[in-house]
């Protein structure tokens, strides 16, 4: 039987020590261990696996197979008899496609908590349980689907506007080259481009965005603004150019010869 030593204090508790410890050498002190309660007991010899010498290791708990219904399908799952309902949910995740947090596990008509143990509530071999998607998870999934749909619609709308802006930007570049080369462009062409770009700016503003979609929307809005500003500058530069009128002077030729007349012969 293990010897037990208790803490003792002297000098009114100002110092502490071990009773009988003064008579024990350093080698013997190594054979004692402190329990969580504060008692010092003689240490027992332990094997390599940490189990007490001479004491056989405890066998693992038995495994049971339970039947879990999910929708129209029934899954048979092997699990430890002392596992928790939360651990059973983890085993069901790859079969149901639901994460443990998305599952609602019911046994005998009542939902069970993750921390509750199977054996405590009478779950045994061949017991039947029902798993379903948690209502809160269904709501979250619905909200996520709605959000993804809005993002996809916004991306499609922004992509369509981006294609139109690309075409208008090419026309702005063409006008820049013409004005830079001294060729005057019809003013209506510039004002029409400005009007089309402003329409696209209004469309962009009306698109609801979130997250990465907002950055794409802002990028296209900046492109439209840059094109409009360039056209405003071109409009002023174009007005300063003189209109070139091309006329053609036709040259007349006079040979100076007498007019040629034709004499017709009459037959009777």
pLDDT digits (tens, 9 = 90+) for 62-103: 899 999 999 999 999 999 989 999 999 999 999 999 999 899
The domain 63-133 is placed in CATH, from the list 3.10.20.90, 3.90.950.20, 3.40.50.300, 3.40.50.2000, at 3.10.20.90
**pLDDT at residue 66, as a whole number:** 95
Domain spans in the chain, listed from the N-terminal domain onward: 63-133, 140-240
What one-character DSSP code corresponds to residue 46?
A: B
CB neighbours of 230 closer than 8 A, spacing ≥ 6? 172, 176
Let me know: does 201 contact 221? Beta carbons within 8 Å. Answer: yes
Average pLDDT, the chain: 79
Q: Is the pLDDT of residue 129 over 90?
A: yes
In angstroms, the Cα distances linking 146 to 150, 151, 152, 212 are: 6, 9, 10, 16
Q: Is the pLDDT of residue 159 over 60?
A: yes
Q: Is the pLDDT of residue 172 over 60?
A: yes
Pairing, β 73-80 against β 103-107: unpaired
Closest by Cα among 91, 85, 88, 89 to 114:
85
Q: Is the pLDDT of residue 191 over 70?
A: yes
Q: Which fold has domain 140-240?
A: Methane Monooxygenase Hydroxylase; Chain G, domain 1 (1.20.58)
DSSP string, 103-166: EEEEETTEE--TTSBTGGGT--TT-EEEEEE-HHHHHHHHHHHHHHHHHHHHHHHHHHHHHHHH
Q: Phi and psi of 204, rounded to 5°?
A: -60, -40
What's the pLDDT tens digit per position in 39-63?
545 555 554 454 555 556 777 888 9
**pLDDT at residue 157, as a whole number:** 94
Looking up tokens 């909200």 gives: 143
Distance CA 131, CA 103 (A): 6
In angstroms, the Cα distances linking 109 to 36, 117, 128, 132, 171 are: 42, 16, 11, 13, 71
pTM beyond 0.75, yes or no: no
Closest by Cα among 37, 43, 123, 48 to 87:
123
């Amino acid at each position: 039987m293990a010897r037990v030593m208790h803490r003792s204090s002297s000098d009114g508790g100002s110092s502490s020590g071990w009773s009988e410890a003064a008579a024990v050498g350093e080698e013997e002190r190594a054979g004692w261990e402190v329990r969580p309660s504060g008692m010092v007991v003689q240490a027992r010899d332990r094997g390599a696996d940490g189990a007490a010498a001479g004491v056989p290791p405890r066998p693992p708990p038995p495994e049971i197979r339970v039947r879990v219904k999910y929708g129209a399908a029934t899954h048979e799952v092997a699990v430890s008899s002392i596992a928790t309902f939360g651990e059973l949910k983890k085993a069901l995740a790859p079969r149901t496609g639901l994460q443990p947090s998305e599952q609602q596990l019911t046994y005998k008509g009542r939902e069970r908590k993750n921390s509750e143990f199977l054996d405590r509530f009478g779950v045994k071999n061949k017991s039947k349980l029902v798993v379903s998607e948690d209502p809160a998870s269904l709501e979250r999934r619905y909200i996520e689907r709605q959000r993804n749909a809005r993002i996809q619609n916004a991306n499609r709308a922004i992509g369509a506007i981006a294609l139109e802006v690309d075409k208008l930007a090419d026309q702005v570049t063409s006008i820049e080259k013409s004005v830079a080369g001294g060729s005057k462009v019809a003013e209506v062409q510039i004002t029409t481009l400005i009007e089309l770009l402003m329409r696209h700016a209004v469309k962009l503003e009306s698109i609801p965005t979130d997250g990465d979609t907002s950055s794409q929307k802002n990028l296209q809005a900046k492109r439209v603004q840059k094109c409009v500003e360039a056209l405003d500058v071109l409009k002023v530069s174009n007005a300063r150019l003189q209109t070139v009128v091309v006329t053609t002077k036709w040259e007349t030729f006079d040979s100076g010869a007498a007019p040629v007349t034709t004499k017709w012969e009459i037959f009777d």
